[in-house]
Amino acid sequence: MATTGRQLRFVTDEDKIAAEAQVRELQTDVDYETKEYTVELIVQKYLDGKDEDANELFVPTYQRDFVWSTERQSKFIESVMLGLPIPYVFTASLEKDIHSDEGRVEIVDGSQRVRTLAAFVSDDLILDGLEKLSRLNGFRFTDIELSRQRKFKRRPIRVIELSEKATETVRRDIFERINTGSDELKAMEKRKGIYTGPFYDFIAECAALPLFNEVCPISYRKQRREEAEEMVLRYFAYADRYEQFNHSVRSFLDGYLKEHQNKFDRDVLFGRFTSMLNFVRDNFPFGFRKSPSNSSVPRVRFEAISVGVSLALQAKPDLTASKQTITDWLTSNEFMNHTVSDASNSRPKVKARIEFVRDKLLGA
């Protein structure tokens, strides 16, 4: 079993007692209720009296500004419209004393969602970028059929409301923990859930190959975030159609994975992938790494070498190469310029770095 963090130490009974005492001392007793409100009621609580800062449901000063893009707002509305599960909204009742806004409820986490609902119902949001409900792109709330408007307003939103015992310090602490304790999913983690199927399983199989891990080491932390699978998908997508790439890496990879989700030639792809790995192992001095001391491989470097090698092997299956010659151009300023990090979203640069490797191997 792998362990992370600081080195293990011998824990005594006294240590255990002291630790338990600390937990008891610092444990916060926070009462809460789980409630279910309709969209209509949430929007009403948020908007009523807003001009006088007297709305019942409000965003506290420690919360960030409204930062969601139109596309992200639209996708959230799409999720609500389709009845998909969405995260709880966390709120807290303020203390009821003469110095507070009696009866008001503070949004601890979920202000972006609440503000998006309010914007949509108020006709301040025009839907855009929807893929599943694509026919709603360009719609405002009042453009939707009246019956659908009513159903949308009746959609339930789950709310966890902290009691008046939750001080401002506790509320801030909960907000920080919610927003830092669960990292936003990486693109490949999202793909794993959206495009699950035979092709994704095949990509995971390739990413787990000992040979791949030998020539393309990836840190344990990045492996847990599907980085190896991301690399493999990039290889297959670019090797197949790098000339069709156009600016957005995410869209390019999403489209390729979706297209091949259930239909692909496993034997052909696996053969190309392993042939490429074997060639890199046998001919490149440090695999995909820049030097023996490097513990990871930049994506643009991996793409350039892996796809360039594959294209060269397709043109000349019996290709041979000199390690010294490869080392010379790998360490050249020209190759370094081809594989800088800002080259990932540029179509000419993607094409140039892949074909640079291909042409060097073919002696062009």
**Amino acid identity, position 326:** I
Tell me the sheet residues that pair with 106. 58, 92
Q: Give 216: exposed, middle or buried? Use CB within 10 Å, 0-12, 13-18, 19+.
A: buried
Is the pLDDT at 190 greater than 80? The verdict is no
Per-residue pLDDT of 310-350, as tens digits, reads 999 999 999 998 889 999 999 999 998 888 765 567 888 89
Question: Would the pTM count as exceeding 0.85?
Answer: no
- Mean pLDDT (whole number) for 49-54: 58
- Mean pLDDT (whole number) for 143-163: 92
Q: How many residues does this entry show for the chain?
A: 364
User: Is residue 278 a contact partner of residue 270, using CB atoms and an 8 Å limit?
Assistant: no
Of 131, 151, 58, the residue nearest 141 (C-alpha): 151
* Least confident piece of the model among 10-19, 30-39, 62-71, 109-118: 62-71
Strand extents, DSSP E, the chain: 32-38, 57-58, 89-93, 105-109, 156-162, 285-288
Q: Mutual orientation of helices 299-315 and 347-362 as an angle, nearest 10°?
A: 50
3-state secondary structure of 92: strand
CB burial readout 258-281, b (16+ within 10 A) else e: eebeeeeeeeebeebbeebbebbe
Per-residue pLDDT of 202-217, as tens digits, reads 999 999 999 999 999 9
Per-residue pLDDT of 258-301, as tens digits, reads 999 889 999 999 999 999 999 999 999 999 998 888 888 999 99
User: Is residue 223 a contact partner of residue 208, using CB atoms and an 8 Å limit?
Assistant: no
- For 332, half-sphere exposure in the C-beta direction (CA atoms, 13 angstrom radius) is 14
